[in-house]
A and B are shown apart, each in its own frame.
Chain A
């Protein structure tokens, strides 16, 4: 069996509108190993959903190729659809059917035998903590329950790979943790997981490999730890202020050991070489300018910092 379940080569997607055309995917190439959790991290509009669209036969690429299990996606959509499962960003459960029938009919579409689909439906409802609600109408479900039901539905036909598009968007922290645990569990059973997210913590905690995407391009691709080590050695000092004073900024530039300064509306991020004296010097300047500081943090870099370092903007800047 091929080690890579997915191979994407020079993928391009251009949307032509009346007056202009938008490049959604700009020469995207990557590979996904069988059995791993692969994450596409980037802000809204980076091209994550378009990538999933192409890989799941829904979006026709303008150029390049995608192979799933050695089969070219655009050439044989039917064969691809048998092997994949999709949990889209929006809730697309069948509201004409009960909770359990959502699973049963999905399996029927895929030709799963009666005995097997009954058994699998009950098992997955149990797994997703939904068995008690199996005869309910989907309409009354909370977002977290809908998401879990969609994951259960995706697993009904025993796919080789499951695509999760922003699986935890809009969920409360508890529901998010539960979804993370379910994703880990199904991955432990051998299902390859391809997820998109704009939560760097999600990518960091779940993924074996992460591709950071922005404006239709993949900027970097590696394991979360490797990615974080791409940042210049050292730490980050984050200052939250009521307003940012230009004089203060230029004084910061004078401190030795600060390699890069990124500013937002009310936040300054200092990428440092990690020496302790820098924190003291920054404090000194804060006192000197009598700045109203809301918060100071000194920490090791995260994927979000890498994203800021690479693009000069935050992951949530589009929100």
Chain B
């Protein structure tokens, strides 16, 4: 691979990201902040939910924030590039393989997912530190989950961005991203779904489930969670499936 071109394209993406970094922070931080405010501070204070509820949802808030940041970092620019502006052509016509351009997009999506995690975690901690009980089980596995979450987010965004036209995005968001978030075991643990067995099994197709349950296993092991090995398998299988779909989608839109 032509690394010089690869890093030049990355430099371009960083430049564009930094230029709008304040917007990025707002996009990433507002929703989780409100979430933490309501579920970690307001509702426990007025006695609607127990004080420790934040421990149940903290891994989920982290997981879905990372996922949405990663998904949108690749999905939106790609949908516009392929559906309307074709701005990416300048990079596709650069002396680098099409798959290397795709890889660069994934790396940038991962970085943005991690940045989102880095912004959101301190927010959770800041608002709820009296009740928050985080016990990191293994830094190695934490990093592994962070890595896989980044990859899955970027790849999934790529699949969406190469499938949907920009004008269909709000529809896609309502039909795909919102259900993923709500049924991704962010607000409850998967194990507690034994009350509704069919939902328990259906939601296993949701990759966000493995992200959230994986974080739960590493960060708040006192809450019931899917065994870490199974979450890892879920994450790896999702990565493989999304890799194949992303490559297919991307190449289909590049070549015609």
Contacts and interface: CB of A to CB of B under 8 A. Distances in A.
Interface stretch (B42-50, B89-97, B147-155): B89-97
Contacts of A153: 90
Given A58-B255, A60-B255, A78-B96, A109 B87 contact: no
Interface string B229-256: 0000000000000000000000000111
Contacts of A35: none
B27 interface: no
Interface stretch (A91-99, A124-132, A276-284): A91-99
Q: Please tell me the size bucket of the interface on B.
A: 20 to 34
A33 to B, nearest CB: 24
A117 B69 CA distance: 34
Interface residues of A, number: 29
Interface stretch (B10-18, B161-169, B170-178, B201-209): B10-18
Interface in A82-136: 82, 86, 88, 90, 92-97, 101-102, 105-106, 108-111
Contact of B12 (A59, A92, A97, A110): A97
B93 A81 contact: yes
Contacts of B15: 96-97, 101
Interface in A68-84: 77-79, 81-82
A81 to B, nearest CB: 5
Nearest to A59: B256
B129 interface: no
Contacts of B224: none
Contacts of A96: 12, 15-16, 19, 87
A109 B90 CA distance: 9
Contacts of B92: 58
A101 B93 CA distance: 17
A153 B93 CA distance: 12
SS of B interface (majority): helix
Contacts of B90: 92-94, 102, 105-106, 109, 153
B8 A108 contact: yes
Contact of B85 (A78, A82, A92): A92
Interface in A25-78: 53, 56-60, 77-78
Given A97-B12, A111-B5, A88 B89 contact: yes
Interface in B78-105: 85-87, 89-97
B130 interface: no
Contacts of A102: 90
B255 A109 contact: no
A263 B90 CA distance: 44
A109 B96 contact: yes
A100 to B, nearest CB: 13
B86 A88 contact: yes
Nearest to B92: A58
Given A90-B86, A93-B87, A108-B8, A58 B97 contact: no
A156 to B, nearest CB: 10
Contacts of B41: none
Nearest to A78: B95
B86 A92 contact: yes
A57 B94 CA distance: 11
B96 A94 contact: no
A233 to B, nearest CB: 44
A96 B86 CA distance: 13
Nearest to B4: A111
A81 B96 CA distance: 8
A181 B120 CA distance: 55
Contacts of A109: 5, 8-9, 90-91, 94-96
A92 B87 contact: yes
B12 A94 contact: yes
A97 B5 CA distance: 17
Contacts of B11: 105, 108
B2 to A, nearest CB: 7
B12 A105 contact: yes
A159 to B, nearest CB: 10
B93 A56 contact: yes
24 contacts: A56-B93, A57-B93, A58-B93, A58-B256, A60-B255, A78-B2, A78-B95, A81-B96, A92-B89, A92-B90, A94-B90, A95-B85, A95-B87, A96-B16, A102-B90, A105-B11, A105-B90, A106-B90, A109-B5, A109-B8, A109-B95, A109-B96, A110-B94, A153-B90
Interface of B: 2, 4-5, 8-9, 11-12, 15-16, 19, 85-87, 89-97, 254-256
Given A58-B255, A92-B86, A105-B8, 5 more contacts: A58-B256, A59-B256, A78-B2, A82-B95, A109-B94
